[in-house]
Structure 1
Amino acid sequence: MLVYEYGRTKQEALSNLCRKMIREYPDEIFTTDFAKVSDYGNEGSDKRYVAEFRV
């Protein structure tokens, strides 16, 4: 399963993903080193980047 979260910056997308992993998947081993951050939306959008992690 792929877990993802959005952000205005790459760091914000990773931070949002960390929070989601802690809340929804507390038993999963997670590190941002294995998360992938990609461009997603238009410049200036609240969803500019997406961070993904495979559970």
Structure 2
Amino acid sequence: MLVFEYGKTKQEALSNLCIKMIREYPDESFSTDSAKVSDYGNEGSDKRYVAEFQV
């Protein structure tokens, strides 16, 4: 399963993904080094970047 979160910056997207992983998948081994961050939306958008992690 692919878990993802969005953010205005790459760091915010990773931070949001961390929070989601801790809350929804506390037993999964997770590291931000294993997450992939990609461009997603338009510049200035709240969903500018997406961070993804394969569970």
Structure 1 alignment gaps of length 5 or more: none
Instruction: In structure 2, list runs of 5 or more residues that go unmatched.
Output: none
* Pair 1:42 & 2:39 matched: no
Matches within 5 A, 1:8-19: 8-19=8-19
Q: Give the SS at the match of 1:17.
A: helix
Matched residues, number: 55
Runs of 4+ in 1 over 6 A off after TM superposition: none
**Partners in 1 of 2:47 and 2:7 — Cα distance?**
5
CA RMSD of aligned residues (A): 0.1
Identity among equivalent pairs (%) = 87
TM-score by length of 2: 1.00
- Looking at structure 2, the residues matched to 14 and 32 of structure 1 have their Cα atoms a distance apart, in angstroms, of 7
TM-score by length of 1: 1.00
Give 3-state SS (helix, strand or coil) of 1:15's partner. helix
2-structure distance, mates of 1:16, 1:23 = 11
